[in-house]
A = this chain, B = another copy of it.
Amino acid sequence: MITRMSSLFLRTLREDPADAEVPSHKLLVRAGYVRRVAPGIYSWLPLGLRVLRRIEGIVRDEMDSMGAQEIQFPALLPREPYEATNRWTEYGPNLFRLKDRKGGDYLLGPTHEELFALTVKGEYSSYKDYPLSLYQIQTKYRDEARPRAGILRGREFLMKDSYSFDLTDEGLVASYQAHRATYVRIFDRLGLKYVIVKATSGAMGGSASEEFLAEVPIGEDTFVRSTASDYAANVEAVVTPAPPARPLDGLAEAQVHHTPGTPTIDTLVAYLNEAGLGREFTAADTLKNVLLKTRQPGAKEWELLAVGVPGDREVDMKRLEASLEPAEVAVLDEADFARNAFLVKGYIGPRALLDNGVRYLVDPRVVTGTAWVTGADKADHHVIDLVAGRDFTPDGTIEAAEVREGDAAPDGEGTLVAARGIEIGHVFQLGRKYSEALGLTALGADSKPITITMGSYGIGVSRLVAVVAEQTHDASGLVWPRQVAPADVHLVIAGKDDTLREAGERLAQELHGRGLDVLLDDRAAASPGVKFKDAELVGVPTILVVGRGLANGVVEVKDRATGDRAEIAVDQVVDHLVTVVRG
């Protein structure tokens, strides 16, 4: 195909759009790939649509190869299935809801678990029908509170979502692994730099889950990675390596001290170090007990929960919430403290909690044999050398303390560093939540019904256009990897001479004849300088310049990514470019 810039529906912009902050957004608008229609809602212009379709093609190719079958659901969906799974309500304001002319409730699908489950239920009935993997590449809608960064977080976007259906947990694991391997192939083919992080389940309910995060400085998701291994995880999913339990023999007795005016860790540590106790204390020696209340889904009553963490760490509410999911968590109000007089603010210790039946979970570092400075349940008093497993036994451990750079990596290799990424894929063992809610069962060999277990897998296809741009652009513009570029060769006719024009046209035809897609800058009015700038901005991987050198029988071939230039004899350049493009 030859695409002529003289008639292509493309106008590049010299200025960044006013609403753009991230590089991919700026460049995709400036290079004429997308245009904003409304917040988080974009149009695809010709070059953008080509990149989108090429990425879509790679995703489809790999999904087909793994044996998943493509179907397509509508985007406009009736309320009922989403009511059955409670997501009509749970989604809250993220869901676009509307009524039809008869007053019926509809929504714009944010994800299609319900429809897939119901459709399989409609077609399949026997255990012999399974396993099954279905997918679609389809437009989705989420009314994001803060649509941002162009197509990176839109409200209308293209997604590949797939679902696996299995009879057994082992089957689900196999389907999950097959999807995971397919995602690795897809993102590798796209040339992306990404990590696979253990993720929590989010609002979906279920068990194992991993996210594919593309590493970019402007990423919304924070994750940690090891300095020494390929361990990577969402902060919510980091498992604190617990030290080994220590022997109790020979540990000092617990002693209550009068510590006036020390309701905070800082005041406490300062007081202790001035008290002349013969040793130095740090915040890490203290055990901070944070009081919260939790409520299980559907329950009316709140329940008290105490979380004990080393005093040098804050409680990370996101980690705490992820650990307690699907229960709700809230902080205590004055009325809660009034109702529970045994809670002495600033001086809460394990004793009062355990004596009064408060559920008490501690950081995994609080192992048997560790000694702590903590509250003595009496104003202005703390206890020193309170030993876990001797003086108190918590109800269990919880991942709630903040994760910090320099923490030991959970796999024992190296330490953690923080990084930022964008979610590009998600694989998720959904389990039986949706099959149970919607009655998806198969008749077993023994004529008994088997509840199907599902997996759910997503790739943000339109988002990938921006993610690839984030990872590959440079100061001059976009730099597409060959496999997704909108053309193979950007041919610039750098001058108005008839000879240049004729040579350019002939080379374009010859390249086309060899099966290459050529973006031909044949604009009569544009100067060579403007054409070069546009070629850098548009980002086709190979730029062929037909210019002054032609008089000496050479043209210039430039690699957009490396900037390498080479003069090639005009009668050899077609062969040369075919080799460059085909590899």
Assuming the A-B contacts A93-B101, A98-B97, A155-B76, are A69 and B38 also in contact, with contact meaning beta carbons closer than 8 angstroms in the complex? no
A124 adjacent to B37 (CB under 8 Å): no
- A108 contacts chain B at the CB level, 8 A cutoff: yes
Mark the stretch among A42-50, A360-368, A450-458 that contacts chain B: A42-50
Across-interface contacts of A156 in B (CB, < 8 A):
74-76
Tell me the complex Cα distance, A44–B137, Å. Answer: 12
Across-interface contacts of A98 in B (CB, < 8 A):
96-98, 108
- A100 contacts chain B at the CB level, 8 A cutoff: yes
Assuming the A-B contacts A101-B93, A106-B38, A115-B37, are A9 and B143 also in contact, with contact meaning beta carbons closer than 8 angstroms in the complex? no
Min distance, Cβ A561 to any Cβ of chain B, angstroms: 27
Assuming the A-B contacts A37-B78, A38-B106, A123-B11, are A71 and B96 also in contact, with contact meaning beta carbons closer than 8 angstroms in the complex? no
A139 adjacent to B77 (CB under 8 Å): no
Query: Number of A residues contacting the other chain (C-beta, 8 Å)?
Result: 53
- A141 contacts chain B at the CB level, 8 A cutoff: yes
- A242 contacts chain B at the CB level, 8 A cutoff: no
A42 adjacent to B74 (CB under 8 Å): yes
A43 adjacent to B76 (CB under 8 Å): no
Across-interface contacts of A8 in B (CB, < 8 A):
69
B69 adjacent to A43 (CB under 8 Å): no
Across-interface contacts of A94 in B (CB, < 8 A):
101
Who on chain B is nearest to A64 by CB? B1
- A134 contacts chain B at the CB level, 8 A cutoff: yes
Task: Identify which of B35, B67, B97 contacts A119 (C-beta below 8 A).
Answer: B35
Tell me the complex Cα distance, A93–B101, Å. Answer: 6
Min distance, Cβ A300 to any Cβ of chain B, angstroms: 29
Across-interface contacts of A525 in B (CB, < 8 A):
128
Across-interface contacts of A46 in B (CB, < 8 A):
69-71
Tell me the complex Cα distance, A108–B9, Å. Answer: 25
A71 adjacent to B9 (CB under 8 Å): yes
Who on chain B is nearest to A42 by CB? B74
Tell me the complex Cα distance, A497–B115, Å. Answer: 39
A43 adjacent to B119 (CB under 8 Å): yes
- A132 contacts chain B at the CB level, 8 A cutoff: yes
Tell me the complex Cα distance, A49–B73, Å. Answer: 10
Identify which of residues 88-146 in chain A touch chain B, using a CB-to-CB cut-off of 8 Å. 93-94, 96-98, 100-101, 104, 106, 108, 115, 119, 122-124, 128, 132, 134, 139, 141, 143, 145
Across-interface contacts of A70 in B (CB, < 8 A):
46, 49
- A572 contacts chain B at the CB level, 8 A cutoff: no
- A569 contacts chain B at the CB level, 8 A cutoff: no
Tell me the complex Cα distance, A97–B70, Å. Answer: 30
Across-interface contacts of A97 in B (CB, < 8 A):
98
Tell me the complex Cα distance, A9–B124, Å. Answer: 9
Across-interface contacts of A128 in B (CB, < 8 A):
525
Across-interface contacts of A447 in B (CB, < 8 A):
none
Min distance, Cβ A158 to any Cβ of chain B, angstroms: 9
B37 adjacent to A73 (CB under 8 Å): yes
- A72 contacts chain B at the CB level, 8 A cutoff: yes
Tell me the complex Cα distance, A463–B46, Å. Answer: 26
Across-interface contacts of A72 in B (CB, < 8 A):
43-44, 49, 52
B76 adjacent to A96 (CB under 8 Å): yes
Min distance, Cβ A54 to any Cβ of chain B, angstroms: 13
Tell me the complex Cα distance, A577–B46, Å. Answer: 39
- A41 contacts chain B at the CB level, 8 A cutoff: yes
Tell me the complex Cα distance, A143–B103, Å. Answer: 11
Across-interface contacts of A115 in B (CB, < 8 A):
37, 43
Tell me the complex Cα distance, A98–B78, Å. Answer: 14
Min distance, Cβ A364 to any Cβ of chain B, angstroms: 39
B76 adjacent to A141 (CB under 8 Å): yes
A41-B76, A44-B73, A97-B98 are known; give 4 further A-B pairs, CB within 8 A: A38-B78, A43-B71, A46-B69, A100-B143
Contact sample, A vs B, 30 pairs, CB 8 Å cutoff: A8-B69, A9-B123, A9-B132, A9-B134, A10-B123, A11-B123, A11-B124, A32-B123, A37-B73, A37-B74, A37-B77, A37-B78, A37-B115, A38-B106, A41-B74, A41-B78, A43-B71, A43-B74, A44-B72, A44-B73, A46-B69, A74-B156, A75-B156, A76-B108, A96-B98, A96-B100, A98-B108, A100-B143, A101-B143, A139-B139
Q: Can you list the 8 inter-chain pairs with the closest CB atoms, starting with the nearest?
A: A98-B98, A93-B101, A44-B72, A38-B78, A11-B123, A41-B74, A74-B156, A101-B143
